[in-house]
Structure 1
Amino acid sequence: MNSMEKHNLKVYDETGATALSCLILQDGKTAYEFYTGTHNREYGAQKVQKDSRFNIASIRKSYIGFALACMIAEGKIRGLDQDLCTYFPAIPVIEGTTIRHVLTHTHGLAEKDGKWIRMFPPGEDWFYNNAGVNLLISIIQNVSGKTMAQILDEQVFQKAGFAESGWEKSEENLVLNFLSDPSRQLDDSGEDSNLYCSTRDLAKWGELFLTRGKSAEILTPDAFKEMTSVQFTGLAQLPKQGYFWWVKEEDFPKNEIGPKVPKGSYQLLGITGCICLVMPEYQAVAVRMLNQTGQNREFNYLDDVRTFGDMAAGMVGAK
């Protein structure tokens, strides 16, 4: 058992997960692969395997960012510095907030008791929440006349062969997401965090950006580069984002990307415990899937994410 396997199994145990997988690709080839557990706790539950589909939670934001890039390429959205008031004139509190602020979690907006409030002026701080992404989804679907799921299916899933990715209304034959709200009615429009995909499809998503779309005729290499480049640089010692991707420029104590991961790498994270780390310097993609049962207060989430990245970098960087 190598150190990566030991770490992942420790996390698997501490988070109460039933399912875990890990896949590391380098130069398009499998460098490491591991699967364990079952889709749920029921007797006779399906064992985790290559085509098992996990809920990737907030990793879906990068797919929404991709849809935004498509709308910009088609000229339906002018660019990142467009003020949100253009689309929401009836919400004056958002004035001065741009799409760029939304992508980088520097928008300062929140929803409280059904109303929009401002926590801080746009661009003056960083705070992670879903308020901004909900506005962006509304913009994209309004200008396109399509659901988020339709855009992704047409623009990338069909073209690049993502056969094990999509928004689902039911968890039948899928890995159970213990953190989902059973009372909430989900649909397959792409508006909610019910995007499920297999480990190999999420690794393929990382490779799509690593190769800048070379494997499929979708968008331009420059578009892929922009999506994974820092889009707001005004705040020191705080996370940096591209189109919702976490991008490493430097290391600091609360950076979600480990100190041993090379600069220029970029990463996606989901509350279910899923990670997709892309390391261009090593031509590698590292993915871990998990279905943690809850937020264990004794579990060090930041340490886990940084350790995973450092171990993955050590495995591919030594080759």
Structure 2
Amino acid sequence: MFQPLISYIEDIKERNHSSGAALVILKDNQIVLEHYSGYHANTNNSRPIDATSQFNVASARKSYLGLVAAFALYEGKIKSLDDLAVHYFENIDKEMLGKTTIRHLVTHSHGLHQREDGTIFREFEPGANWAYRGINIIMMTELVNRLYGKRFPEFLEERVFKPMGFNETAWQTEPNEKLVQVVDDPKEPASYKVGQTKNGMESNLHISAREFARWGNLHLNNGMDIVPREVIQLATHVQNPSYKNNDLPQNGLFWFVQGTPAKHSELGERVPKGSYQILGVTGPTLLVIPEYNVVVAKMFNKQYNYGGSNYLHYLREFSNLVADVF
């Protein structure tokens, strides 16, 4: 039943030079598949990948930030998704922000970009287009940290991770034997992506494939009486403004959500409506399909794992394969 998915994982691992891979699938709240292969690094005597291996999930951390933003909305710290950003970001030029709203910031429709020198500029008017940038993540990280008076990873540890019993999910600051290293260049030794987290923005969140799947299952089950159902609904339902271009992706609070199948979405056209997904540049991807009561966590450890302009093809192909299996 699952061989097409395992074959896909192994093919991508070899083709894109990941040293390791993992695949965990939950169906009806039960693990129905665990697959681990390869090694923690592309060097001799590296530890084999197993159930305790913790991968750097890179930008998939946005789903964790998104949940905290949803909490802030639910608890009234942010009044509305349609609140103007100028009311929350006094240190950013008001004219530059213009009519940008919180909704724009959490759905990649804000139109802001940032140069290497830190200068913020505008690419397009708020809500007029879609672009995957970093400035909105920096802004929302700063905002929720300020609203709660603590780094958002601390908030999650207290409100979600401890109640869920997560002990293989953490923003790592020092190497350890359970951490999978990241391959930047296949011709060079892999390295640890760890660092001091000053604001939770650093891309050093490491998670085992099992807990990544459980993170998805928390959302699938509307918070499991740990997170309010309304918070999960805010995070995982389509929240972006209406686009004139129907090819653009649709988003919840950073999650990519299947509304009407779109050409530039990372979710394939056979994936049921209401499904949602998050991914990181190193290859980890978490797919939740409520219609089938399924969660799929797949892990790799290669920077730019999906490669150039082909990455959407890889993502759509895999999500379609999952939909076909179930």
Matched, 1:142 2:146: yes
Partner secondary structure for residue 300 of structure 1? helix
Q: What is the alpha-carbon distance in structure 2 between the residues aligned to residue 245 and residue 57 of structure 1?
A: 14
Q: Figure out how many residues of one structure are paired with residues of the other and give that number.
A: 314
CA offset at residue 312 of structure 1? 1.5
Identity fraction in percent: 33
CA contact (8 A) 1:14 1:299 kept: no
Q: Does 1:227 align with 2:227?
A: no
Deviations 1:85-119 (A, max 9, x none): 11223422113111110111000001112211000
* CA distance in 2: counterparts of 1:37 and 1:249, whole angstroms: 36
Deviations 1:104-139 (A, max 9, x none): 100000111221100011111100111111001111
**Is the 1:275–1:289 Cα contact (8 Å) retained in structure 2?**
yes
1:95 aligns with 2:98: yes
Q: Does 1:175 align with 2:185?
A: no
Matched, 1:111 2:114: yes
SS of 2:272's equivalent in the other structure is coil
1:1-319 correspondence to structure 2 within 5 Å: 2-90=3-91, 91-92=93-94, 93-112=96-115, 113-173=117-177, 174-179=179-184, 186-189=195-198, 190-214=200-224, 216-218=225-227, 220-235=228-243, 236-294=246-304, 297=307, 300-315=310-325, 317=326
Give yes or no for contact 2:20–2:39 (8 Å, CA) kept in 1: yes
**Amino acid aligned to 1:176:** Q
Paired residues of 1:24 and 1:312 also in contact (CA < 8 A): no
The separation in 1 between residues aligned to 2:29 and 2:192, in whole angstroms, is 41
Unaligned ranges ≥5, structure 1: none
Q: TM-score, normalised by structure 2?
A: 0.90
SS of aligned partner of 2:72: helix
In structure 2, distance between residues paired with 1:184 and 1:282? 35
The answer as to whether partners of 2:172 and 2:205 remain within 8 angstroms in 1 is: yes
RMSD: 2.1
Farther-moved stretch of structure 1 (284-293 vs 171-180): 171-180
Q: Which runs of 4+ in 1 moved over 6 A?
A: 180-185
Q: Which of 239-248 and 292-301 deviates more? A: 292-301
Deviation, 1:78, is 1.6
Unaligned runs of 5+ in 2: none
